[in-house]
Homo-oligomer: A and B are copies of this chain.
Amino acid sequence: MVRAIADMIVTGEMPPGERLDELSLAARFEVSRTPVREALRELGAMSLVGREPNRSAVVMNVTQARLHSMFEAMAELEGICARLSAERMTVDERRGLDIEHRSSIHLVHSGSPEDYSAYNTEFHNRLYRGAHNDHLLELATQTRARLAPFRRAQFRLTGRLSKSYDEHDRIVTAILRADCKAAGQAAFDHVSIVSDASAVFVAAHG
């Protein structure tokens, strides 16, 4: 239920500011109001929707400033994860990362944004897990989830795929060398670039 409503929000099916009234949602998913209520409360805790007493829940209106702060925080978090990954990844993890990364060159050439996006998510998850820190994994995953709708469009930008591959390459190389500082910096830069691209996109469309 939570997942169902969250999907509607992040896919943009429900635009920011849209009211989410309990009865309509209940009817839509063919359940009673109670589970919908509880889901909305949970989404409120994840601040995906805003809630005020006696008012409908509304899809959070993400301001430009807020978006910027989230991307900046994301860059820092990824930087930390990459740095710790360079330091802590097991041999298997390093090898897995390297193999997956190398094979992603095919996706760049075939050029399907959807496929590359799926791979990209997996790549970043590997970095988060490689840091061997559960809380950091949670913070990074959570932040990434909230940014998802704003990153969605960016792989459609021409040339972004191969640039993304090059940036990943810098990260992977540094991690394989166990060069903490370089890995952290490379990941930080990578996210910062995505941030800039998305900011432009949002400014133009949203």
A interface residues with partner B (beta carbon < 8 Å): 34, 37-38, 41-42, 44-47, 65-66, 69-70, 72-73, 76, 80, 133-136, 138-139, 143
Contact = CB atoms under 8 A, between A and B. Distances in A.
Contacts of A80: 76
Given A38-B38, A47-B138, A69-B134, 7 more contacts: A38-B41, A45-B46, A69-B133, A72-B133, A72-B136, A73-B135, A73-B136
Nearest to A139: B139
A61 to B, nearest CB: 13
A133 B143 CA distance: 14
In this complex, the member of A45, A47, A65 whose beta carbon has the largest number of chain B beta carbons within 10 angstroms is A45
Contacts of A76: 80, 136
A105 to B, nearest CB: 32
A134 B66 CA distance: 7
